Amino acid sequence: MWLEILLALVLGFVIYWFVSKDKEETLPLEDGWWGPGVRPTAGEDESIRPFKVETSDEEINDLHQRIDKVRLTPPLEDSRFHYGFNSNYLKKVISYWRNEFDWRKQVENLNRYPHFKTKIEGLDIHFIHVKPPQLPSGQTPKPLLMVHGWPGSFYEFYKIIPFLTDPKNHGLSDEHVFEVICPSIPGYGFSEASSKKGFNSVATARIFYKLMLRLGFQQFYIQGGDWGALICTNMAQLVPRNFYTLTLLLGWRFGRLFGYTKRDMELMYSLKKIFFNLVRESGYLHIQSTKPDTVGCALNDSPVGLAAYILEKFSTWTNPEFRDLEDGGLERKFSLDDLLTGVMLYWTTGTITSSQRFYKENMRLGNRHEGIKVHVPMGFAAFPCELIHVPEKWVKSKYPKLISYSYMPRGGHFAAFEEPELLAQDIHKFMGLLERQ
């Protein structure tokens, strides 16, 4: 009798293993409440409200007074950017910020695209929604959700949007025309921060999915880098049949160490160098994954400290060789107006601490989504100066339906901000491959 039971159990396990090993597992589409206090009994206001970025003399004067009181430590001789942001170059940034940077003009620039807010799970969610100025006859725009990371913002997509919404007038084919939705992650910029512990990428993915449903999109495309890559991955794990994943810029999972191409080997150099680079560039990660509020107190109080902390990432994450330059190479890829606008989105909203908490909430052990594959068509753009090169073999271990893998000719971590035309071209390439399937 016991032998029969044992054999039945073994047979049952074998059948279960064969049936379930290729099963498309999904994350549960749950619900949450992240606003202050308890969830109200009345239904949530689902209206979508226009929003406008604004500033004031008081806000600008306070910034200038704080800049005027800055205390800098002289850099070591010939240290360049190897010790972090070089304070000699920081003086130039501060001078420009204080005397030439026009925040009112940048606010007008931010408002050139339509902004909105809506309440989801107790949080006021901010987003821009840009529709095509014109469409070829018989075409409808393809909805595309684009998600930023840290220390970025929705502003990173301002330069790529015209290549997607108006491609013909920007040198690309109009075979694919998009309407683009760029939300702010809760706790970043103009999106309200969670009042409760535990708000992670899965909760964000669920909120952004609800946002797209609220906008009337049952099927849509998604694209993201940094945290945006993980949020987009989680969206595909929540509702895998409703949309397609475009061009993830940062890999979050590692596969087996074989199957590399020659280009992979060129980009990866050696495991020793990869390890050294990760150690050198990940100090912020450990701080923000453990005690984000402590460093947040300093950064939220000092605009110059905040600028140094953020802009140092736009130097070394754009190109690791920029550490060897006295100015960190910042103005080789970006303008000071663009860089300082990004800093101002953290400064004026006071969201640096809440943005850093996202690391602590996502670095918990046992996240279920880590073991779930993504079963939607997916494209990946491998930019050569990204923090970690992710070979195609690794990507396929997590995203079995990878249909486009591109070795990009140049670019780093902030691809949409740095190389908007290249990224737009790769998105158009992905669309063509997808529609020919």
Catalytic residue positions, numbered: 226, 359, 413
| Pick from 429, 421, 338: nearest CA to 161 | 421
The dihedral sign for the CA sequence 156, 72, 316, 227: negative
Cis previous bond, 151, omega within 30? yes
| 8 Å CB contact between 118 and 211 | yes
Which residue type sits at 29? Answer: L
**H or E element that contains 283:** helix 283-290
First to last CA, the chain: 53
Q: Three-state SS string across 296-350, please? A: HHHHHHCHHHHHHHHHHHHHHCCCHHHHHCCCCCHHHHCCHHHHHHHHHHHHCCC
d(CA 94, CA 229): 32
Q: Which three-class secondary structure state does DSSP give residue 245?
A: strand
Residue with tokens 């997607």: 164
d(CA 219, CA 241): 8
